[in-house]
Amino acid sequence: MALTPFHLAIPVHDSKLCRDFYTNTLNFKEGRSSDHWVDYDFFGHQLVIHYKENHRSDVTSNPVDGKEVPIPHFGVVLEWTQFHTFADLLKSKDIHFIIEPYIRFEGLIGEQATMFFKDPSGNALEFKAFKDMSQLFTK
């Protein structure tokens, strides 16, 4: 099944700081930009950071597997190897994880790797991968 790229725009309170984070920490390739926004290649999707003066992220959490999952959050499902390579990159750059990379449902249907962290504007991101991608929606 071919994936259709999605577009996501998020507010940031400090364009320079967030641009540095997405470009140099996460290593996302920049696309078009202006003084108030930057397009990024977000694993084949389009992520746009938009400057919003005094932006404040109101992140709460819900308990899942004994961990506090930030709400709201966004991210993508990566291939298994790609997830682990990206997690290693983040660890090498001393990302402060909300939830460190770990495996859920190990050995069961829906086995997945997941991790959560925030950008400098407080936007919560989740990246995950399924051991067997065909189980993405399996109950």
CATH number at residue 75: 3.10.180.10
Is residue 2 assigned to a domain?
no
Domain that holds residue 43: 7-51
Q: How far apart are CA 26 and CA 137, in angstroms?
A: 27
State yes or no: pLDDT of 58 exceeds 80: no
φ/ψ of 84, rounded to 5, equals: -70, -35
What is the signed CA dihedral for 83, 103, 100, 77, rounded to 10 degrees?
40
Q: How far apart are CA 97 and CA 110, in angstroms?
A: 23
**Average pLDDT for 17-22:** 96
Q: What is the pLDDT of residue 97?
A: 97
Q: What is the pLDDT of residue 46?
A: 96
Both 72 and 108 in a single domain?
A: yes
Q: What is the pLDDT of residue 1?
A: 54
Both 80 and 127 in a single domain?
A: yes
Q: Which two tokens stand for residue 68?
A: 């506090």
**Average pLDDT for 18-35:** 96
Of the candidate ranges 50-59, 61-70, 116-125, the one whose mean pLDDT is the lowest: 50-59
- Burial environment of residue 112 by CB neighbours within 10 A (0 to 12, 13 to 18, 19 or more): buried
Question: What band does 45 get if pLDDT is binned at 50, 70 and 90?
Answer: very high
Both 45 and 85 in a single domain?
A: no
List of E strands, 13-65: 29-33, 37-42, 45-51, 60-64
Question: What percentage of the chain reaches a pLDDT higher than 90?
Answer: 76
Q: What is the pLDDT of residue 138?
A: 86
